[in-house]
Structure 1
Amino acid sequence: MRLVFMGTPVFALPSLEALLRAGHDIALVITKPDRPRGRGGKLAPPPVKEWAERHGLPCLQPGSLKDSSVLTALSQVEPEVIVVVAYGKILPPEVLKLPPRGCINLHASLLPKYRGAAPIQHALLAGEKMTGVTTMLMDEGMDTGDILLQEPLAIGEEESFGSLQDRLARLGAELLVRTLKLWERGEIHPRPQDHTQATYAPPLQSKDEIIRWEEPAERIKNLVRALDPAPGARTSYQGKLLKIWRVRALSGPFGGVPGEILGVDPSGIVVRAGQGAVLVQELQLANGKRLRVAEFLRGHPVTPGVVLGELK
């Protein structure tokens, strides 16, 4: 099938690869503009652009999809369908109406749960045991279109955002190829979402990265998982930024106050939570390396009784 692919981050790459491998004619790739990256602020291309260029696919990076040149470019390649995977921008009505077979989006949740930009992180924050991927026929709403196909996926007890994102990306790529095959044959009947069951997953903000030690241990554990491998859950130790990368929730009665370091040994640092405690197993001081506790303690003695808190 002749198609236009819209996507930006690493999550979109398995889908792009799978579509090309399945023999689809990718007439054009549209991705977001290059952005400054690193300390020098040098412009760097998004992963989808790099991949498209390596495979000789034409690539467009408009600042806005409402630019008339975008609609002209789309009209010229005459796609049967537009495929969208984590593009990062809303499609205007004139784009949605252009391809005869519509615009199909791959979303990393079982819609209508977790509509929005950060479904994987919010599923982890909520302590979900199951998630999945959905292909849907796009409309003018935010992830409100009719569902085409869905595939569930169990979330591992200790799974981080990074590993779950990778698994969902691969599963989504398979579902997307299957969707297009059946859609082309007319063998899928779109079904409306139950909007009364919708939940939302907006982008996480900087304040959402702060560990609030008065919360239950399980909630803290889920925050740490949701922010690994980036940007990391953060707290402070004696006035210095401390990122926490891996914890285990502990139940039972504990003394002290929330955030207080109760015990230290090479297997972990026990920190009091609002309910229970967490065993910190991997952490990182500002300008340092991400280390397991045993390595960390060799260069950074940690004192029981100190209370971790919000960095001012």
Structure 2
Amino acid sequence: PETLKSQELVAEISRLSPDLFAVVAFGSILTPEWLRVPRLGAINLHGSLLPEYRGASPVQRALWDGRGGTGVTTIWMDEGIDTGDCILQRWTPIEPGDTAGTLALRLSELGAPLLAESLVLAAREEAPRSRQREPGSYAKKLAKRDGLVDFSADAVTIWNRQRAVTPWPGATTGYDSRRVLIVESRPHDLLPGVAAPGTVLEVAGRVVVVACGLGSLELRRVKPEGGAVMDAIDWARGTRVSRGARMNWNEEAMT
């Protein structure tokens, strides 16, 4: 349903006498009125190892923070935001090539059987109720401006943030007053800066290397404005990007 505020809908679902609710990726908070409807309670599948990363963007924030792993948790829903007692959890490593898109897919594949197992346990009235540790952390929802690439940061931070904002809102920089999305990147080194952040250091092999505040970043795949995703080296050669050129990275350049 588009809204849960309808009293008629509450009454209609109540007449079905449900034993359990299973809630996944639902953008609304269930009110106490709704939580009282199922006889045994409501179970939610969340994309983090609670109590870390409660809230709207757990997958993206785990990447943003450079975590080496994350997971999924099933919880008994309460009136808070992802604060209910835990039932089951599963962990998975975050791979160097992961983006928010690939990690979310893997977590969904990990979470589906976990939710099924939790529902079976709940139906048998055998599901655990493990209170979450406090304080937890909250995963603030991403904004479009979070995609703006700031090359004055260190290479690892930029890489982590690029993965976190892919596919949305996209890691956005620019060249010659045209937007360029960084689709895939890797830290090249963490040596002290030898050029101003955003300066192209190399156009060679299969990558374009750009100076950062600390170290440098390999651009491996990009999506130029109005174009398709391509290898960064092909974009650079087609656009005639050369060593010493500057990538736009400040917010004013992207407006």
> Percent identity at matched positions?
37
Mapped contact 2:203–2:236 kept (Cα < 8 A): no
- Say which of 210, 214, 217 aligns to 2:148: 210
In the other structure, the counterpart of 1:86 is: 25
> What's the offset of the Cα at 1:235?
1.0
- In structure 2, what residue type is equivalent to 1:244? I
- In structure 2, what residue type is equivalent to 1:172? G
In the other structure, the counterpart of 1:284 is: 223
Normalising to structure 2: TM-score of the pair? Answer: 0.94
In the other structure, the counterpart of 1:307 is: 246
Mapped contact 1:132–1:153 kept (Cα < 8 A): yes
Q: Does 1:223 align with 2:157?
A: no
In the other structure, the counterpart of 1:100 is: 39
Q: Does 1:71 align with 2:10?
A: yes
Cα shift readout 1:140-171 (whole Å, capped 9, x = no counterpart): 10001111111111111221111111110011
In the other structure, the counterpart of 1:154 is: 93
Mapped contact 1:266–1:297 kept (Cα < 8 A): no
- After superposition, the Cα gap between the structure-2 partners of 1:238 and 1:298, relative to the gap in structure 1 and judged at 3 Å, is closer
- Say which of 103, 106, 124 aligns to 1:185: 124
Unaligned runs of 5+ in 1: 1-60
Q: Distance in 1 between matches of 2:164 and 2:100?
A: 5
Normalising to structure 1: TM-score of the pair? Answer: 0.77
Q: How does 1:1-312 map to 2 (within 5 A)?
A: 61-62=1-2, 64-196=3-135, 198-251=136-189, 252-308=191-247, 309-310=249-250, 311-312=254-255
In the other structure, the counterpart of 1:48 is: none
Structure 1 stretch 281-290 or stretch 109-118: which is displaced more? Answer: 281-290
Q: Distance in 1 between matches of 2:79 and 2:87?
A: 16
> What's the offset of the Cα at 1:243?
0.7
- In structure 1, what residue type is equivalent to 2:93? A
Cα shift readout 1:85-132 (whole Å, capped 9, x = no counterpart): 001111111001111110100000000000001100000011111101
Q: Distance in 2 between matches of 1:185 and 1:235?
A: 53
Q: Secondary structure of the equivalent of 1:234?
A: strand
> What's the offset of the Cα at 1:273?
0.7
Q: Distance in 2 between matches of 1:92 and 1:66?
A: 9
Cα shift readout 1:240-277 (whole Å, capped 9, x = no counterpart): 11111111102224411111111112411110111100
- In structure 1, what residue type is equivalent to 2:40? R
Following TM superposition, the consecutive aligned residue runs of length 4 or more in structure 1 with deviations greater than 6 angstroms are none
- After superposition, the Cα gap between the structure-2 partners of 1:192 and 1:177, relative to the gap in structure 1 and judged at 3 Å, is same
Q: Secondary structure of the equivalent of 1:77?
A: coil
> What's the offset of the Cα at 1:294?
3.3
Structure 1 stretch 135-144 or stretch 75-84: which is displaced more? Answer: 75-84
Unaligned runs of 5+ in 2: none
> What's the offset of the Cα at 1:201?
0.6
Cα shift readout 1:214-254 (whole Å, capped 9, x = no counterpart): 11101111111112233310012121111111111022244
Aligned length: 250
Q: Secondary structure of the equivalent of 1:127?
A: coil
